[in-house]
């Protein structure tokens, strides 16, 4: 009944290698959420009751509110929503609750919050380690048991989805996932490859060194992908040649046999050993030596998955922007970016989003006087950069503060709609889930909040959290 998706398996040169077991579809036996969607590419069944073996999501659910925020800045008044099998199947002002269907009412209904930068639901040691590589996967570190307390808090605060990563101490920390807070089950197993260019206390030279190392890793991955492509085309031509040869030989066989028999006879008369004709053909081309790390990173370089890079200081950021220009297909996302204002124009022009973690400015800190503190989100957005707001993956429970952080950003200049976008539609778009979550539309997955007021207002309470059509929290119980 439950399943989850990986990205569409495009006919990329890496396809065959990925099928050799590094394909994330292999991870399909993972614990999985009720995204049993027709539009999911090959959703693989993975029977998996949530840890506390909760009953399957109720097939029908009716929601009503005076205001439904369908997308940032766009809302409809006095709407009813019908949810069936985890999806929004009907919306309308005149829509009434069907007989005997559980109904939840509130002031406001909006898309559930998504934390684009979190470690909630991830086993703590895996989150902190530096012993990971580009082929490591966050889905291997999901812990619905050890983290149940934290996850329950998230359901209360309305943060129902998270983009999690592992190896916060590593330069490149592998494949992150988007998970549901409800049971820490993956929604997208290969959400992004993440890396960081942030090591406080390093001297400028080694700081630039970090960037160079990342650049050469990206270069290496690109070359690997190219080699695989070359191999595949060579193989194709070779196979064609050989096929042609086979048919020729088959045709010439009778002739060949006759001349051989003749030779055999002659040889017998001469009393000599028969000399067979030498046969030669081209060898099958050898594939490049398999390299899981490069294969994984190549997916980011090729733009199949976004590349999230944590960078704070101006030096690294400038270098990063420079070295990544050649990788035109790569979808770069910045995390942190305390000094991003200096490069706002390039970021806007290259369409690079920034995941901001609103925090106070610390005079004499990493970025010193340049640190705009809480104003960062507001000012980046004002300069045309797409801003996402994340809890910064400092601790699992930090994600709980996401709505507060977004509100604080508003309190320091970020437009209210932009702030709402930054924790709903924004993350959904950047991590290729906009066709499933992030806004309230017919056909989308029912990951919704029923609120007592505006989403970011401090006096608003989360009356109900609906995750994949399942009511996972209701105020008062």
Partner 1 sequence: MLISCLIAAAPLLGATAADDAFALRASHVHVGNGQVVLDAFVVVEDGVVKSVSNNAPRGVRVVEVDGHIAPGFISLRETLGAGSENAERTRKSTPTADLSFAFDPTSPNWKGLVSEGVTTVLLPAGNSQIAGGQAAIVSPAAGEVLKRNAVVTLGLSRAALGSSTAPTSFAGLYAHLGEQFAAAPEGSPLAEAKAGKVPVMMRAVTRSEVHRALEFAAAYGLKGAVIGAPEADDLVDELKASGLAVVFESKAAPASSKDVVKSALALSKAEVPFAFTSDAGSQGPLGMRMQAAACMRAGLDAGAALRAMTADAARIAGVDATHGTIATGRAADLVVWSGPPTDLTSRVHSVYAGGHLVHSAHAHGAHQ
Partner 2 sequence: MKSSLTQPLLALGATLLLASSAAAAPQVDKTAIKAGTVITLAGEAIPDGVIVIEGGRVTAVGAASEVQIPWDATVIDQPGMVAFPGFVEAHASRGIDRPNETLDVAPFLDVKDSIDPVNFYFEEALRQGILTINVQQGNDTVVAGQGMVVKPFGMTVEQMMVRPRSGVKISAAPKRGKTRATQAQALRGAFDDLQRYLEEMVQRQKDGDDFDRREALYQGRELEGEAAKGKPLACSGWTVDGFERVPRGEVDEKREPLLRIIEGKLPVIMWCATPMDVHAALRVAEANGFTATMTLALAPACWKAAAKIKESGCSVILAGLEDDELDPITGESIETFVPKVFHDAGIPFALMSTGDANRSLWYQAARCVANGIPRADALAAVTTTPAAILGLGDRVGKLANGTDGHVVLFSGDPLDITSVVEHVILDGAHVYDRSKDVRVKQLFDGTRPPGTASDTSGEEEWPGDGDDPEDDDDTENNG
Residue 374 has φ and ψ, to the nearest 5°, of -65, -20
The C-alpha angle with vertex 159 and arms to 61 and 398, in degrees rounded to 5, equals 160
Using CB under 8 A as the binding criterion, the count of chain residues that bind partner 2 stands at: 55
CB distance 112 to 424 below 8 Å: yes
- Decide: is 404 part of the binding site for partner 1 (CB under 8 A): yes
CB distance 423 to 431 below 8 Å: no
274 binds, among partner 2, partner 1, none (CB under 5 to 8 A by kind): none
CB distance 420 to 455 below 8 Å: yes
Q: Which stretch binds partner 2 (CB under 8 A): 18-26, 99-107, 207-215, 355-363?
A: 18-26
DSSP 307-367: EEEEE-SHHHHHHHHHHHTT-TT--EEEEE-TTGGGGHHHHHHHT--EEE------TTSTT
> Exactly one of 32, 57, 166, 472 binds partner 2 (CB under 8 A); which one?
166
Our CB check for partner 2 shows the closer of 205 and 250 to be 250
CA distances (Å), origin 120, targets 152, 164, 232, 417, 439: 11, 7, 41, 26, 23
- Decide: is 292 part of the binding site for partner 2 (CB under 8 A): yes
> Exactly one of 129, 394, 397, 474 binds partner 2 (CB under 8 A); which one?
129
374 binds, among partner 1, partner 2, none (CB under 5 to 8 A by kind): partner 1
> Exactly one of 12, 75, 434, 457 binds partner 1 (CB under 8 A); which one?
457
Residue 307 has φ and ψ, to the nearest 5°, of -115, 110
- Decide: is 379 part of the binding site for partner 1 (CB under 8 A): yes
Smallest separation (angstroms) from partner 1 to the CB of 17:
40
Helix, strand, or coil here: 233? helix
- Decide: is 49 part of the binding site for partner 2 (CB under 8 A): yes
DSSP 175-229: EEEEEETTTTEEEEEEEEEEEE---TT--HHHHHHHHHHHHHHHHHHHHHHHHHH
250 binds, among partner 2, partner 1, none (CB under 5 to 8 A by kind): partner 2
Helix, strand, or coil here: 277? coil
Strand-pairing partners, residue 307, are: 193, 332
- Decide: is 416 part of the binding site for partner 1 (CB under 8 A): yes
Q: Which stretch binds partner 1 (CB under 8 A): 14-22, 193-201, 230-238, 373-381?
A: 373-381
- Decide: is 258 part of the binding site for partner 2 (CB under 8 A): yes
Residue among 350, 325, 334 at smallest CA distance from 215 = 325
Smallest separation (angstroms) from partner 2 to the CB of 260:
4
Smallest separation (angstroms) from partner 1 to the CB of 386:
20
**Torsion sign, CA atoms 345, 348, 349, 354:** positive
> Exactly one of 45, 145, 226, 349 binds partner 2 (CB under 8 A); which one?
145
- Decide: is 1 part of the binding site for partner 2 (CB under 8 A): no
- Decide: is 398 part of the binding site for partner 1 (CB under 8 A): yes
111 binds, among partner 1, partner 2, none (CB under 5 to 8 A by kind): none
**Which residues lie near partner 1 (CB under 8 A)?**
153, 156-157, 341, 359-363, 370, 372-375, 379, 391, 394-395, 397-401, 403-405, 407-408, 410-413, 416, 456-462
């Amino acid at each position: 009944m439950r399943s989850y998706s990986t990205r569409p398996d495009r006919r990329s040169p890496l396809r065959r290698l990925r099928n050799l077991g590094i394909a994330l579809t292999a991870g399909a036996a993972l614990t999985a959420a009720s995204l049993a969607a027709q539009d999911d590419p090959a959703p693989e069944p993975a029977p998996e009751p949530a840890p506390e073996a909760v009953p399957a999501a109720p097939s029908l659910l009716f929601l009503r509110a005076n205001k439904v925020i369908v997308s940032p800045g766009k809302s409809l008044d006095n709407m009813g929503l019908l949810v069936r099998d985890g999806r929004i199947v009907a919306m309308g002002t005149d829509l009434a609750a069907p007989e005997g269907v559980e109904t939840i009412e509130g002031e406001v209904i909006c898309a559930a919050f998504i934390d684009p930068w979190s470690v909630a639901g991830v086993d703590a040691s895996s989150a902190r380690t530096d012993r990971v590589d580009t082929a490591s996967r966050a889905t291997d570190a999901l812990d619905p048991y050890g983290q149940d307390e934290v996850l329950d808090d998230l359901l209360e605060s309305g943060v129902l989805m998270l983009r999690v990563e592992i190896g916060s101490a590593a330069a490149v920390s592998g494949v992150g996932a988007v998970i549901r807070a409800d049971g820490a089950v993956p929604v997208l197993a290969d959400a992004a490859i993440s890396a960081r260019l942030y090591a406080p206390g390093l001297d400028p030279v080694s700081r630039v060194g970090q960037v160079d190392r990342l650049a050469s890793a990206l270069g290496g991955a690109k070359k690997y992908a190219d080699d695989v492509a070359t191999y595949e085309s060579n193989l194709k031509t070779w196979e064609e040649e050989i096929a042609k040869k086979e048919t020729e030989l088959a045709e010439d066989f009778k002739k060949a046999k006759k001349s051989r028999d003749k030779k055999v006879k002659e040889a017998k008369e001469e009393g000599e050993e028969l000399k067979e004709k030498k046969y030669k053909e081209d060898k099958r081309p050898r594939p490049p030596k398999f390299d899981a790390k490069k294969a994984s990173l190549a997916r980011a370089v090729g733009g199949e998955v976004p590349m999230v890079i944590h960078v704070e200081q101006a030096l690294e950021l400038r270098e990063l922007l420079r070295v990544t220009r050649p990788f035109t297909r790569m979808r770069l996302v910045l995390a942190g970016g305390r000094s991003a204002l200096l490069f706002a124009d390039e970021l806007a022009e290259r369409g690079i989003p920034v995941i901001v973690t609103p925090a106070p400015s610390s005079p004499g800190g990493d970025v010193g006087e340049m640190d705009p503190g809480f104003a960062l989100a507001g000012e980046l957005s004002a300069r045309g950069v797409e801003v996402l707001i994340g809890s910064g993956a400092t601790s699992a429970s930090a994600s709980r503060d996401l709505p507060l952080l977004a509100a604080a950003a508003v309190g320091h200049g970020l437009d209210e709609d932009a702030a709402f976008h930054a924790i709903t539609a924004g993350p959904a778009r950047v991590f290729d889930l906009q066709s499933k979550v992030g806004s309230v539309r017919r056909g989308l997955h029912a990951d919704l909040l029923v609120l007592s007021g505006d989403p970011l207002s401090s006096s608003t309470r989360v009356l109900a959290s609906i995750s994949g059509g399942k009511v996972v929290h209701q105020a008062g119980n």
